[in-house]
Amino acid sequence: MQERGMLIVLSGPSGVGKGTVRQAMLADDFRDFQYSISMTTRKMRPGEVDGVDYYFRTKAEFEAEIANGGMLEYAQYVGNYYGTPLKYVNQTLDAGRDVLLEIEVKGAMQVREKCPDGVFIFLTPPDLSELKHRLTGRGTDSEAVIEKRITQAADEIAMMANYDYAVVNDKVELAVKRIERIIESEHLRVPRVIDRYKTMLKHADGVSSSK
């Protein structure tokens, strides 16, 4: 039997740099992990690709997925739905691969309830003015949307207490190393190591009894 992968949840306010850090981790020569592509009802930004950045869906399609039990979690954020399709996460974890979710805090708390053995990491900005600077500099949202995201950010940062780790994204390469160290350490936690041995022993038993 395959050892189950680890679920890693990366949250933090919009614009803190979750996507940037994730891409840097994927580019780094680091332990393999799979990124779970979210579903959203927000409009596609220039350069975004359906099925790569998000699964872009209508509100009716998204609500049908919810009704069908197809979402691990979902939330409304600044007027749109965002959520994690359940099937991909389950299949990938069952195949023994780590899965990274990049989601806002309400969704992360739903995952916490359903998957308490996940690793919950909160990425924080050095301060709110830097967050605004990053959102403005990204150039993807109107002034009004940026204001809504900044207002939301203060409430989101207050939720940090519900996470296992807080990582400051001051410099991308430092944030990446901090998160990689967390993931490495989490793989060495005794319950996970014991699980690994159980899997190995079950496998060895199967091998010897098949002789």
Ligand X SMILES: Nc1ncnc2c1ncn2[C@@H]1O[C@H](COP(=O)(O)OP(=O)(O)OP(=O)(O)O)[C@@H](O)[C@H]1O
Residues that constitute the known binding site for ATP: 12-19
Interaction mask 111-150, ligand X, x per CB under 6 A: -----------------------x--xx------------
Strands 7-11, 119-124: parallel, antiparallel or unpaired by DSSP? parallel
Query: Hey, which residues between 67 and 126 contact ligand LQESDW3C (CB under 6 A)?
Result: 73, 75, 77, 82-84, 102-104, 107
Cβ-in-10-Å burial (0-12, 13-18, 19+) of 55 comes to middle
Residues 103 and 35 sit within 8 Å (Cβ to Cβ): no
For 15-41, give the DSSP string: TSSHHHHHHHHHHSS---EEEPPPEE-
Interaction mask 17-46, ligand X, x per CB under 6 A: xxxx--------------------------
Residue 205 CB, nearest distance to ligand LQESDW3C (Å)?
A: 39
Residue 140 CB, nearest distance to ligand X (Å)?
A: 8
15 is an interface residue for ligand X by CB under 6 A: yes
Three-state DSSP class for residue 72: strand
106 is an interface residue for ligand X by CB under 6 A: no
Say which amino acid occupies 61: E
Report the residue from 166, 172, 178, 192 that binds ligand X according to the rule CB under 6 A: 172
For Cα atoms 120, 110, 74, give the angle at the middle one, nearest 5 degrees.
110
Residue 29 CB, nearest distance to ligand LQESDW3C (Å)?
A: 25
Among 86, 96, 80, 104, residue whose Cα is nearest residue 36: 86
Residue 1's H or E segment, with its range, is none
Contact residues toward ligand LQESDW3C (CB under 6 A) are: 14, 18, 38, 42, 73, 75, 77, 82-84, 102-104, 107
Contact residues toward ligand X (CB under 6 A) are: 12, 14-20, 134, 137-138, 169, 171-172
